Amino acid sequence: MSTTPVYLHLSTQTAPKTSLNAQGGIVYALLKDEASTEIFFTLLENQGGSGYFGREIIPFANIAACLTEADLKQTIPAKRFLKAFSASKSVNNGGFLTACLRHQGLLKPAPESPQQHVIGDDWEAWKAAMQKTPSYEVFIGAEADKPAKAAPASSKASDKKEKKAGSKGKKEAAAPACTEDLSNDHPA
């Protein structure tokens, strides 16, 4: 019996970068677990840039935990979200993740400083909406832009394994992993 988690793919989107001089966007995927109890973000691509980042699958709970000791009346720097990543230590992770959070409406640009962030929409309401979003696509590692079709979430896990096994040589659902260079000396 495999202990590799199965993630259901909700969407792949591209967030504009938040830095004033940055070009391109950050491609990311929104995922949920089979029981629809947790939502996950994973960074997939840095378009128009050469900055490295971690591709681990980040629970939304880890992201929200980054704000537990923050004064939400003050601006929120991107570096506050670095601790949402457990494996990757790239300096770009926080900025790229905040771009995704802004794209989802969870953060907004601070009025006095567009590179800083303030809380946006209701995080709990957003999470509840994502949990209710149906998905029958299994997230397969770096191939998130081409999710494999799976049986409806109400099916048995063994049915999903059979669907994945016949998906033209694709790997089984990836365990959280970093596949990019994790050094901190690369610009965004």
pLDDT band at 113, cuts 50/70/90?
confident
CA distance 88 to 62: 14
pTM: 0.73
Tokens matching residue 162: 């059979």
Alpha helices in 80-122 (DSSP H): 93-103
Residue 141: the pLDDT is 64
61-106 per-position pLDDT tens digit: 999 999 998 888 899 999 999 999 998 889 999 999 999 999 999 9
At 57, which amino acid appears?
Answer: I
Residue 22: the pLDDT is 84
152-165 per-position pLDDT tens digit: 444 334 343 333 33
Burial 142-177 (b: 16+ CB within 10 A, else e): eebeebbebbebeeeeeebbebbeebeebebbbebe
**pLDDT value at 32 more than 70:** yes
Residue 64: the pLDDT is 97
Tell me which residue of 166, 162, 115, 169 sits closest to 141, measured CA to CA. 169
**pLDDT value at 172 more than 70:** no
Residue 24: the pLDDT is 92
User: Do 182 and 85 form a contact (C-beta atoms < 8 A)?
Assistant: no
Computed over every residue of the chain, the mean pLDDT equals: 78
